[in-house]
């Protein structure tokens, strides 16, 4: 069930299959060690070389469930996730998976989604890593 303040138009526009086209992650220093910072930048067309993936797709269903599937270059599933999605207002998208909840600031333009968040990408216990993902509607 959608959040009561989620605009129904955006709620319906997000439905369907989306392909990840660009990813940028800035991992900040582990235990405040400046030399441990690094970034990951994957631009369109670089997914096979940089991540070993031929595609990463997220499907949003009308019942507010979602599924993400990452296919390797050999077309086998390398990673997947399922859960519940919800919009709050017109700028916050939340994914609830079995063992995690992710909150993203959402921008939507011309069949593109831009998701931005601070999260613990490197598993150091600090929610300080900058995450930016661009998706294109298939």
Please state, in angstroms and as integers, the Cα–Cα distance from residue 34 to each residue in 29, 42, 63, 122, following that order: 5, 23, 44, 14
pTM, rounded to two decimals: 0.85
Number of domains observed in the structure of the chain = 1
- Provide the residue-wise pLDDT of the chain in tens; the chain has 138 residues: 444 444 566 678 899 999 999 999 998 876 667 667 888 999 999 999 999 999 999 999 999 999 999 999 999 999 999 999 999 988 999 999 999 999 999 998 879 999 999 998 888 888 889 999 999 999
> Is 3 within the bounds of a domain?
no
Distance in Å from the first CA to the final CA of the chain: 24
Q: How far apart are CA 33 and CA 37, in angstroms?
A: 8
Q: What CATH number has the domain bearing residue 43?
A: 2.40.128.280
- Burial (CB count <10 Å: 0-12, 13-18, 19+), residue 39: exposed
Would you say residue 22 lies in a domain?
yes
């Amino acid at each position: 069930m959608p959040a009561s303040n989620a605009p129904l138009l955006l709620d319906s526009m997000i439905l369907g299959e989306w392909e990840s086209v660009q990813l940028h992650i800035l991992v900040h220093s582990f235990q405040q060690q400046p030399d441990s910072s690094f970034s990951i930048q994957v631009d369109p067309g670089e997914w096979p070389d940089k991540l070993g993936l031929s595609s990463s797709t997220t499907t949003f269903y009308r019942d507010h469930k979602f599924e993400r599937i990452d296919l390797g270059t050999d077309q086998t599933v390398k990673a997947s996730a399922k859960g519940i999605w919800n919009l709050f207002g017109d700028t916050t998208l939340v994914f609830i998976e079995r063992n995690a909840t992710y909150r993203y600031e959402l921008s939507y333009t011309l069949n593109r989604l831009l998701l931005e968040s601070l999260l613990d990408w490197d598993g150091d216990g600090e929610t300080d890593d900058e995450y930016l993902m661009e998706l294109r509607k298939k």
